[in-house]
A = this chain, B = another copy of it.
């Protein structure tokens, strides 16, 4: 299907910030940052990137598509894992260079390729005397 979606650049900063037309600012690699938040737990699941086609497909299908920078390929999240992200709400930030997706996750409800529920499974623990910064695993949430 040829998409007829257009993303015209905003004519000025005021329109970009206060206007009611989507005018995403893709960076010099043609990408925009996308943050996915779980609609139920409200956890930040992952941060990835979209190119124009991924954003178009996300808008048209209401499933999250991303652009994999490492594989240089369009990517339907969950296509192999079953962790399809159904998009319930799409937000854009003030200067329209970041997308926020509120999603419901299919399959086992997870997100991260390491098997964790989300990608942010480590927190900064402490700064050591030799100047390195140690991490610790975040205790998985129990669903109470």
Q: Does A106 contact B (CB under 8 A)?
A: no
With contact pairs A5-B131, A5-B133, A131-B6 given, residues A124 and B47 touching in the complex (Cβ less than 8 Å): no
Identify which of A4, A46, A120, A125 gathers the most chain B CB atoms within 10 Å of its CB.
Answer: A120
Q: Which of B3, B120, B137 contacts A100 (CB 8 A)?
A: B120
Contacts of A17 in B (CB 8 A): 114
User: Does A135 lie at the interface of the complex (its beta carbon under 8 Å from any beta carbon of B)?
Assistant: yes
Interface centre among A93, A113, A135 (most CB of B within 10 A): A93
In the bound complex, CA of A10 to CA of B124 (Å): 15
Is the CB of A22 closer than 8 A to any CB of chain B? yes
Q: Which of B20, B116, B137 lies in contact with A125, CB distance below 8 A?
A: B20
How long is the Cα–Cα vector from A130 to B5 in the complex, in angstroms? 8
A122:B5 contact, CB within 8 angstroms: no
Cβ-defined contact, A21 with B121, below 8 A: no
- In the complex, what distance in Å separates the CA atom of A19 from the CA atom of B3? 43
Cross-chain contact B123 with A22 (CB below 8 angstroms): no
Q: Which residues of B contact A138 (CB under 8 A)?
A: 91
Residues of B within 8 A of A98 (CB): 47, 119
A83 at the interface (CB under 8 A from B): no
Task: Name, among A22, A112, A134, the residue most crowded by chain B CB atoms within 10 Å (CB to CB).
Answer: A22
